[in-house]
Structure formats: structure tokens, C-alpha cells
Structure 1
Amino acid sequence: MSHENVLTDRLREAGYVAQHVERAVGGVIAVAGLVTLEDGSQLFAKTLLDHAHDHDLDVFEVESAGLAALRELAGVHTPDVLLATQRLLVLEKMEPRTDDEAFWERLAHTVAALHTTTADRFGWHRDGWLGRLRQDNTWEQDGHVFFAERRLLRWLAEPLVDAEFDRQERRALERLCAALPELIPAQPPCLNHGDLWQENILATSEGEPVLIDPAVHYGWPESELSMLWCATRPPVSERFFAVYREIAGLDDGWEERMAILHLRELLSVIAHDDDQDGGAAHGVRAVIKPFLRRSGTSGATEAAGGTPE
């Protein structure tokens, strides 16, 4: 049975009779698509595949709660959730965005406002998902500890990451994490969408930015920005960063920090077996290179301006 037929059957079980499904691209855990119903109306739906052990997952419950948090806590436009079960998520249809300067400027205002929603610690009241793997959101007072342990080092236990990097490379990542307080300035915990790349940005019928597929938590604002900065995006999106900086402010050197903060996404790509061209692994190695120990020298102390061991 095709993936589209699986989605159609599960929609029928839930009371939605689909006439046509236009499958969406992207995603690593669900089959999703724009659904045209027999009355001509449209909605967006996705379902988990059987091999994902969908009966054990709360992916759609977490996603639904994340969309509500973005909307209720920060006023972000998100699609209305029409149905959320263990196997099926049905959402209000949104529109493709227009990639012009006006849209990316509006998005900068949206994200800057999102980041004004703050907390007194990092994390979230429940764990979430990044793709098909758990996102550890355990509360932590120290942002550097949170990012090191919950966003970087947690990937080392994943089989594909473990297979990709040798012992020296793993130790280099650990040294980078130990040096984070010297590499990343302290930032307050603010509400993060958590997976803010261009495929998760749509629009309302009026052209206002809409955010989908969140991995919500309280984290560093710069870690959020790294997803947009480092991932493929249209050239006009430079307007986003100019406007965000005007509104929210960014500490000097923020561009140089983006690659370090993007490590979480690169490690996730490898863990999900989605690095067919090796680009993510190459990116990780480029960032951790200064922390590799060579001839008895500690790269961490050199990168931080210290004395070699």
C-alpha cells in the first residue's frame, strides 16, 4: 500500500473522506500532505508509519501542545489543530509563504516577539521530539550545561553518530562543550520554536508568517537563529537577520557562533540517517577541529586562548 493510501485510510477512519492527497516533501517520521475532501475543502494531515511503532509515540500530542504554546504564550500564528491522535494529526490548511523582503521582515518581528517570552530556567515541562528521536527537555538552570548535555552530547549515544565519529572526535566535541561558557555569551532562556528552518515557515491567507512542526522549549535565542542562518534559505532572508538585530539586539560575533550552535541540527541529521552526502558530518568535523588533541596538545585550551596541556 502506498504511503498516500495509508494516510487516506486513516483519514477515512477518523471521518474525513479524501478525494485527493498531494504529498508533502520533507520529514523523517510521518507521511504528510495537503488533502482535498469530497466537498472540495482542504486540510493538512499527517500520519505515522507502522514501522515507527506509532502506538508507542506521543508525537502528535506533543506537536499539538507545542503549536498551542506558541500561539497562547507568544501570539505566533499557528494552524488550528482539528484532530490529534496517536496515529493522525489534522491541521487547518495554511498557504505557501512569499519569499520577499516584506515577508522576512514580518517573520523577524514574529520571532523577536516569540523570544520575549522568557522563563527562569532552560527546558520544558515535558520531553519532545526532533524527528523520530526524543528531545530531552529536562529543566536546567545553567544554559551552557543545558545546551551541552541536552542538545549536543545526548547525540553521542545514538548508533549512527557513534559509528560516524572516532574516539578523538567524540572527545573533541566534549572539549567544545566544556569550553561553551567561553564561546557563547550567557543568554536568558526564551521560548524557542526549536526547529526553525525554512520548511517550517508558511503563511496565512493574508500573508502573515505561520510556524509549524515545533520542538518547543525554553532555550537560547541564538540557538534558534542558527537553524535559519546555517540551513539552506533564499538570499532575501538576509532581511530577517537585519530586522531581528534591530529589534532584539545581538551580541557582537553572533555570526561566528552560528556554526557552533548549529551542531545540534547536524548531529540530529546524522542520527536520523539523513546525511547521504556526508555534509552534516563534514560540518561537525569543521567545528570541532580546533578541539582535536594533537601531539599532546589540548585544542580546547588553545581555542579558548589558554595554555596547552
Structure 2
Amino acid sequence: MILPEPKERRAREALAALGLDDHVTGLELLTGGVVNTVWMVHRANADDLVLKTTDDTPEDLYEVEAEGLDALRDHGLRTPRVLGVGGGGLALEALTPRVPAEPEFWEHAGRAVAALHGVHGDRFGWPHDGWLGVLPQRNHWHDDGHVFFAEQRLLRYVGEPKAEAVLTSRDRAALERLCVRLPDIVPTAPPVLTHGDLWHNNVVAAPDGEPVFIDPAVSWMWAEVDLSMMFCADKSPARFFDAYREVRPLDSRWRERMPVLFLREVLSTLAHEGSRWSLDYLRTVLRPFMTS
């Protein structure tokens, strides 16, 4: 593969800033990065590592990600070890992941996430704002989960330029009506430690077959917001949910809530891309809240 010169130069500068540029024998550009450029860094006298860089890194993007990985790991979820952060890059343990094809993999992942959701917090939020993609994830503390989710996970995206450009006044009014009705749709639940961006591509299999969780956007939030990402994005691995419910039972109507809780991701995507699919999905979920 021919490496793009500016991106490779940026990667080598980040490695130098982290003091990890000794004995580098090559950089291999990996696939799958949406916001980041991801590299496998091969080294002669040390283990390979993974390096993440991006063209326009928000000031604390990688520091926040590293903190999130450590927080999840500290509470029992397997994440790649952070080897260095700063200088426009994030260096991580290289796990040489393989495709998680076996059903048992998703069972292990479901139990791991259920255990994580057993870690309870006192309030909704996080000590500081984070990032979901390259837009801030608002994490201001709140005692009420419904208000927190409405204000900081849904309505906060309405004013972003790409969302504002495609949302009509009717869309916004319907979203506001949904937010008012949230206590009727989502049962009261405690704040738990959540991964925050729990879709299939952020769960990889390590060489030993165990699930490893990457690219978090952590906060104390409802457990079902994590589940909505796994349930609604692309495909739904049934074994994941079966195993999750063995550890942490869900009520009979949990599936009905998934599209509403997934609106956090839909609105984030709309604010990042202004994409047609996210607008169509949003309007489908908001249809019962639209006025003629």
C-alpha cells in the first residue's frame, strides 16, 4: 500500500513526541477509522503498537479517550492498554485482532458489558465533557436521567450547523415533544458506567478469542443507551443480548425503547454528516410526535 505522505509524516511526528519512535521499521495503514487515521507501527526491538492520529485533533480528544479506556479497564472491561498519549496521537497496545465470528465471542461480550453496567454512579454525567466523534459530548452533572438524556444527548445536537441545515421546525418540535414524554417511554433507571459508543466495530477479538472494547465515549448513563447502539447499528447479535440478560435481566418492553435511545447516535451522525439516512431514521422515530 502506498502511504499518504502527509499522514505518515504526522504519524512519525506523533511517535517522536511520545518517545516511541525508536527502532520503527514500518507503518502500516489500517482500515476502519472514521475520525482517526489508524496505523500499525512495526518495531524491531519491541512489540508492535497501534497509533491513532487525525488531521484536526480537538485539543484533548486523545487524552479523553485514554482516560475512558483506563476507566473501563479499571472496572473490569477489557480494553487495549494505553502506551502513550499526546503530541496529536494515541498509542495503544497492538492486539492483532481477528474477526469475532464465533457465537461464544458475543456471549462473552454480553456478559462483560452486563458486568460493567453493574457499576453504579451517583449522578448522570462525567467530571468533564468528552467527545463523540469530533463533536463534544456534553456531560454536565444531573440527578435526573430523563432531563440529562433530553438536554445533553438529544437536543444538544439540534444547533450544530449540519443538523440545523436539514432539520425543519416540525422536526425540532417533534423532538421536543418526545423529550417531554421520555419519562413515559423510558423507565427510571440508575446511572451506570457506560462505554458510550458500543457498536459492533468497537468490539474486537484478541488473539485469545476474548472481546476487547475500543473507542469509548464514557459517562454515567442508562445501561440501555449502550444496548441501543448494539441493537440498532447494523446487525443485532442475539447471543450478545441473551448472555447480557442472563446477568442483568431486562423487562419485556426493552426492545421497544431501543429506537428512541438510539436517537443519540442518529442525531450525532446528523450533526457530523447531515446524512439522509440519519434524517430519515429520525423522522421515522419521531412520527408519533409530529403534528399535522
TM interval, short-chain normalised: over 0.9
Alignment partner, residue 298 of structure 1 = none
Instruction: Look up the equivalent residue of 1:263 and give its one-letter code.
Output: L
Secondary structure (helix, strand or coil) at the match of 1:134 reads strand
* TM-aligned CA deviation for residue 108 of structure 1: 0.8
CA contact (8 A) 2:263 2:282 kept: yes
Partner of 2:291: 293
Alignment-mate amino acid for residue 138 of structure 2? D
- Note if contact 1:97-1:201 (Cα within 8 Å) is conserved in structure 2: no
SS in 1 for 2:162: helix
Corresponding residue for 1:229?
Answer: 231
- Mark the CA change 1:86 to 1:154 in structure 2 (over 3 Å): closer, same or farther: farther
Matched, 1:41 2:47: yes
- Letter of the 1:183 partner, please give it: I
1:178–1:86: structure 2 CA closer, same or farther, 3 Å change rule?
Answer: farther
Q: Is the 8 A contact 1:12 1:18 kept in 2?
A: no
Distance between the aligned counterparts of 1:10 and 1:186, measured in 2? 44
Asked whether 1:8 is paired with 2:6, we answer no
- CA-atom RMSD in angstroms: 1.7
User: What SS does the aligned partner of 2:68 have?
Assistant: helix
Q: Partners of 2:87 and 2:150 in 1: how far apart?
A: 31
CA distance in 1, matches of 2:88, 2:99: 28
1:284 is displaced (CA, Å) by: 0.5
Superposed CA offset, 1:252-276 (max 9, x none):
211111100000101111111173x
Q: Distance in 1 between the 2:35 and 2:60 partners?
A: 12
Secondary structure of the residue that 1:33 maps to in structure 2?
Answer: strand
Q: Distance in 2 between matches of 1:112 and 1:84?
A: 29
Counterparts of 1:216 and 1:65, CA distance in 2? 9
Q: Find the residue that maps to 1:119 and give its secondary structure.
A: coil
Secondary structure of the corresponding residue to residue 123 of structure 1: coil
Distance 1:185 1:86 in 2: 43
* CA 1:27–1:145: 2 relative to 1, 3 Å: farther
Number of residue pairs matched?
285
Which residue number corresponds to residue 105 of structure 1?
Answer: 107
How far apart are the structure 1 equivalents of 2:254 and 2:262?
A: 12
- What is the 5 A alignment of 1:171-250? 171-233=173-235, 237-250=237-250
Q: What amino acid maps onto 1:250 in structure 2? A: L
After TM superposition, the structure 1 stretch with the greater mean CA deviation from structure 2, 240-249 or 168-177, is 240-249
Distance 1:137 1:263, change over 3 A: same
Q: CA deviation at 1:144?
A: 0.5
Please list, as runs of the form range in 1=range in 2, the aligned pairs for 1:125-136 lying within 5 A after superposition: 125-136=127-138
Aligned to 1:142: 144
How far residue 238 of structure 1 moved from its aligned partner, in angstroms, is: 1.0
- Which letter maps to 2:212? V
Letter in 2 for 1:11: L
CA deviations over 1:3-51 (Å, ceiling 9, x no partner):
23421343245342533333233444321122212447311001131xx
One of 154, 157, 165 as aligned partner of 1:163: 165
Name which of 268, 279, 282 aligns with 2:277: 279
Deviates more, 1:249-258 or 1:23-32: 23-32
Q: In the alignment, which residue of structure 1 is the partner of 2:82?
A: 81
Cα gap change, 1:156/1:27 in structure 2, threshold over 3 Å: closer, same or farther? farther
Contact 1:11 1:18 in 2 (8 A): no
Of the structure 1 ranges 210-219 and 243-252, higher mean CA displacement relative to structure 2 is found in 243-252
Moved more, 260-269 or 196-205: 196-205
* 1:137 Cα deviation from its structure 2 partner: 0.6
The Cα shift of 1:86 comes to 4.3
Q: Is the alpha carbon distance of 1:70 and 1:132 closer, same or farther for their aligned partners in structure 2, counting shifts above 3 Å?
A: same
Aligned residue in 2 for 1:90:
91
- Give the C-alpha shift of residue 97 in structure 1: 4.3
Structure 2 unaligned spans of 5+: none
TM-score normalised by the chain length of structure 2: 0.92
**Cα shift readout 1:189-244 (whole Å, capped 9, x = no counterpart):** 110000001111123332111111110101011111000001113x6x21011111
Q: Distance in 2 between matches of 1:15 and 1:101?
A: 37
Task: Give the letter aligned to residue 240 of structure 1.
Answer: F
Return the letter of the residue paired with 1:191. Answer: L
Q: Secondary structure at the match of 2:118?
A: coil
* Aligned twin of 1:64: 66
